[in-house]
Amino acid sequence: MPSNQYAGLSVFGIGVHMKTSIAAREIQFNAYPGVNGLESLDMGGRGRTTQVTGTLTGATINDLIAAKTQLESFNDGTPRVFYDSAGFGWRNVLMGAPEFEASGYRNGGTAFFWSYGVVLVHLSQT
């Protein structure tokens, strides 16, 4: 069973944490002159969001830049299939713009790391 994948690729790196939340329902409130109270109209659900944090790694700075570029390339408005950490598959998921917390650096001379966060928007509830 796949996990931590977007568009069939393992683009999230290591130390991945995912938190999926259901979006609040859209509700329209109406008020009418001369009538006490409010009327509410349920406008339906608006999908979900998944907040992803992780760390991209590379043996060289060029490997790290390639991983960063690949992750950023999915911020193109095209919905794709996403598998979360539990292996649950979600269709029609958009990736937002990743936010990187630090530039690449060497850890004891063995690898380069880059921490990031990104929000995925589920266009449907399931």
Any idea where the domains of the chain sit in the sequence?
5-122
Q: Which CATH number fits domain 5-122: 3.30.70.100, 2.40.30.200, 2.120.10.30, 3.40.109.10?
A: 2.40.30.200
pLDDT value of residue 103: 67
**Can you give the pLDDT at residue 44?**
85
* pTM (whole model) above 0.85: no
Instruction: Say what the pLDDT of residue 29 is.
Output: 94
Q: What pLDDT shows up at residue 110?
A: 76
Strand positions, DSSP E, the chain? 5-6, 14-22, 27-30, 39-42, 48-58, 80-83, 89-95, 99-100, 105-106, 112-122
pLDDT along the chain (126 residues), means of 10: 90 95 89 94 89 93 93 97 94 96 71 93 84
Using alpha carbons, select from 9, 8, 12, 97 the residue that is nearest to residue 56: 12
